[in-house]
Amino acid sequence: MNNRMTALFETKKENILNIYFTAGYPNIDDTVTIIKQLEHSGADLIEVGIPYSDPLADGPTIQESGTAALKNGFTLKLLFEQIREARKTANVPLILMGYVNQLMQFGVEKFVAQCADSGVDGLIIPDLPPNVFEKEYKELFAKHNLSFTFLVTPNTSDERIKMLDSLSTGFLYIVSSAAITGAKSGISEEQIAYFKRISSLISSPKLIGFGISDNETFTTACTYAEGAIIGSAFIKMLSKEGVAGIDGYIQSVRG
């Protein structure tokens, strides 16, 4: 499999910055502008969250942005239209992050076909069990050239980490703590030991997420992985400053 995302990991081995934002937030039509501005400002990878009424892995900041987007009238149909529009000029790798129910309600085959058609490179579906992925989805995703990323937490056993590594076709998402997104600040010695343990077990590229918010936490995370993911902190910035604040924020993280 080779798409924009796998090409990124083949050519760039460090300081990869993945920015997560919720589609349709702050305003329903901001998605295209945010993608374009993030690429212009130097984000390497963009994770687009699909607004959902029951986002299990997300902290309050991301939940609130999703609720606001749904109130704005956001739909999956609109999301695919917006990604098509962004793809007219943007070449940055794009990942969709959502939940199994959203795929089921839309129709899995239809969802995957729309991803491929609109220019999506990969998927993160935190509540899709690995055995179900392997039996029912792996071939379908591969057929449409969609990478798939699994999440690993401090509670994940070595055996399971190796299994998720073997199944992953994108990168491994290293959840920095057992908490929900956005709940931490700084990186502890215990977390560093965990990052080192992961590194000794896997061959996939890895990005560290949850609690990454600024230059200090980004730089530390990049010491133990190919890069890091920022979500809640970026959405908080958008809430305060809007699209106009994107460039300054990305530059501050890069340092």
Is residue 179 over pLDDT 80? Answer: no
Is residue 185 over pLDDT 80? Answer: no
3-state secondary structure of 149: strand
Where residue 171 sits, what CATH number does that domain have? 3.20.20.70
Q: What is the phi/psi pair of residue 105, to 5°?
A: -65, -35
Catalytic residues: 47, 58
Band of residue 52 on the pLDDT scale cut at 50, 70, 90: confident
Predicted pLDDT at 183: 46
Whole-prediction pTM: 0.93
The residue segments making up the domain with residue 111 are 4-254
Band of residue 53 on the pLDDT scale cut at 50, 70, 90: confident
CA distance 228 to 249: 15
Q: What is the phi/psi pair of residue 154, to 5°?
A: -60, -20
Average pLDDT, the chain: 92
Is residue 55 over pLDDT 70? Answer: no
Predicted pLDDT at 25: 93
Burial zone of 170 (CB within 10 Å; 0-12 exposed, 13-18 middle, 19+ buried): buried
Total domains, the chain = 1
Compute the chain's Rg from CA coordinates. 17
Q: Per residue in 192-211, pLDDT tens?
A: 889 899 999 999 999 999 88
